[in-house]
Amino acid sequence: MKSVQSKWLVAIAAAAMTMASVAAQAAGEMFPFVLGSSSGGDVAGKVDVVKKALQDNGFEIAGDYSPYADAHIIVVTNAALKKAGASHERAGYIAAQRVSITKVDGKVQIAYTNPEYMAAAYRVETNLSSVSASLKAALGATKAYGPGEGKTKDDLADYHYTFGMEYFDEPYELASFGSHEEAVAAAEKNLAARAGGAFKVYRIDIPGTKQTLFGVGMKAGENGNKYMDDEFIMSEIDFKETRSTAHLPYEMLVNGGDSEGLHARFRIAMNFPDLSMMGDNSFMNIMPSPDAIKNALTKAAGGKIKDDF
């Protein structure tokens, strides 16, 4: 009898979980990341396998890098993402989707950004369900994850962390040049020189526009500012069992002759919306990071550091 009762309890619990999941989906809740799989092995051994799976499913590899030990990021794009990037004057951010390979407690987690979540955050109206389906076909989809509770499209369209924090349409204004070509050339030159500790991970030109998206890795170096460093920032904010490594790298958008970057208080919060303000693993521990990131991106763009940093 106890065995039968136990089976019923398990069945009821499973049904409740399924109903809760369906209810969440019905409410339109989304999460920033999707875990494709978690298995044994090592990061290096997975990189080529993941790249091939992505290419076999129609993606271009825009670039990749290892921001720190046991972590590798692959950035992809395709025709649908580039088309979405042309849908409004600052939509270029959506053209890149990030795939992460991270070793945690002996398991290698393969995860990626949720294109539909990112589209909502970047105010892109294009339906990217086909991109989500292609990522799932390439890498699997074990679960969507990130914050404890998901965000709806309406939540993300006007998202900011809290009162006084920046929105999507309040980016860093990094540099201004006479033409798109000059702005792109300055970014290429400074990223190659690792100005401010910033370096190029990828470049995506958005067809039919004057938008060029750069993926920017950041490493402080021996005498640099640790608060802009990829590894340092992630060591403070990415602490959950399922890692959000695909938060990296940061972006710089050259739009016409102007270069901009999403404000860190928006860019970090959109991927970690439940990060606490104070305490262990909180925004308080990276309080100088928004200015440090702006500083690094400004140098990378060829702009001038202003007195109000």
- This prediction has a pTM of 0.90
Mean pLDDT of 13-23: 42
Let me know: does 248 contact 230? Beta carbons within 8 Å. yes
Average pLDDT of 78-105?
98
Residue 222 reports pLDDT greater than 90: no
Confidence label for 31 from pLDDT (cuts 50, 70 and 90) = very high
Q: How far is CA 24 from CA 20, 40, 128, 242, in A?
A: 6, 31, 20, 20
What is the predicted pLDDT for the residue at 15? 38
Query: Does the pLDDT of residue 265 top 90, yes or no?
Result: yes
Q: 307 in a domain, yes or no?
A: no
Confidence (pLDDT) at 27: 58
- Asked if 92 and 209 count as a contact pair (C-beta separation under 8 A), the reply is yes
Compute the average pLDDT of residues 284-291: 96
The verdict on residue 90 lying in a domain is yes
Residue 18 lies in a domain: no
Contacts of 70 by beta carbon, 8 Å cutoff, 6+ apart: 43, 102, 103, 104
pLDDT range class, residue 282, cuts 50, 70, 90: confident
Measured distance CA(244)–CA(246) in Å, rounded = 5
Nearest residue to 175 (alpha-carbon basis) of 61, 258, 114, 296: 258
Q: Calculate the CA dihedral of residues 25, 28, 33, 38 and round it to 10 degrees.
A: 0
Q: What is the pLDDT of residue 223?
A: 87
Across the range 41-45, mean pLDDT stands at: 97
Q: Is the pLDDT of residue 23 over 50?
A: no
Residue 2 belongs to a domain: no
pLDDT of residue 307: 56
**Which residue has tokens 């600052």?**
90
pLDDT digits (tens, 9 = 90+) for 151-181: 999 999 999 999 999 999 999 999 999 999 9
Cα distances from 132 to residues 7, 110, 137, 218, 267, in angstroms, run 35, 15, 9, 28, 21
Tell me the mean pLDDT in the region 60-88. Answer: 98
Residue 3 has pLDDT above 90, yes or no: no
**Terminal alpha carbon distance of the chain:** 69
pLDDT at 180: 98
Say if CB 162 and CB 127 are below 8 A apart: no
In a domain, 182, yes or no: yes
Q: How many domains are contained in the chain? A: 1
Per-residue pLDDT, 281? 84
For residue 131, the model assigns a pLDDT of: 98
- Of 212, 151, 162, give the one whose Cα is nearest residue 28: 151
Average pLDDT value for the chain: 92
Once rounded to an integer, what is the mean pLDDT over residues 103-108? 97
Instruction: In whole angstroms, give the CA distance from residue 174 to residue 91.
Output: 17
User: Rounded CA gap, 234 and 285, in Å?
Assistant: 11
Question: Could you report the per-residue pLDDT of 231-246, keeping only the tens digit for each?
Answer: 999 999 999 999 999 9
What is the pLDDT averaged over residues 87-115?
A: 98
| Structure confidence by residue, pLDDT tens digits, 194-216 | 999 999 999 999 999 999 999 99
Q: Which class for 17: exposed (0-12), middle (13-18), buried (19 or more C-beta within 10 A)?
A: exposed
Residue 107 has pLDDT above 70, yes or no: yes
> For residue 7, what pLDDT is reported?
39
**Cα–Cα separations (whole angstroms), residue 112 to 139, 197, 218, 240:** 9, 25, 20, 16
Do residues 30 and 152 make contact, with C-beta atoms less than 8 angstroms apart? yes
Looking at residue 89, the DSSP 8-state letter turns out to be T
Q: What is the CATH number of the domain that holds 95?
A: 3.30.310.70
Q: Is 140 helix (H, G, I), strand (E, B) or coil?
A: coil
For residue 249, the enclosing domain spans 31-301
> How confident is the model over 118-129, as a mean pLDDT?
98
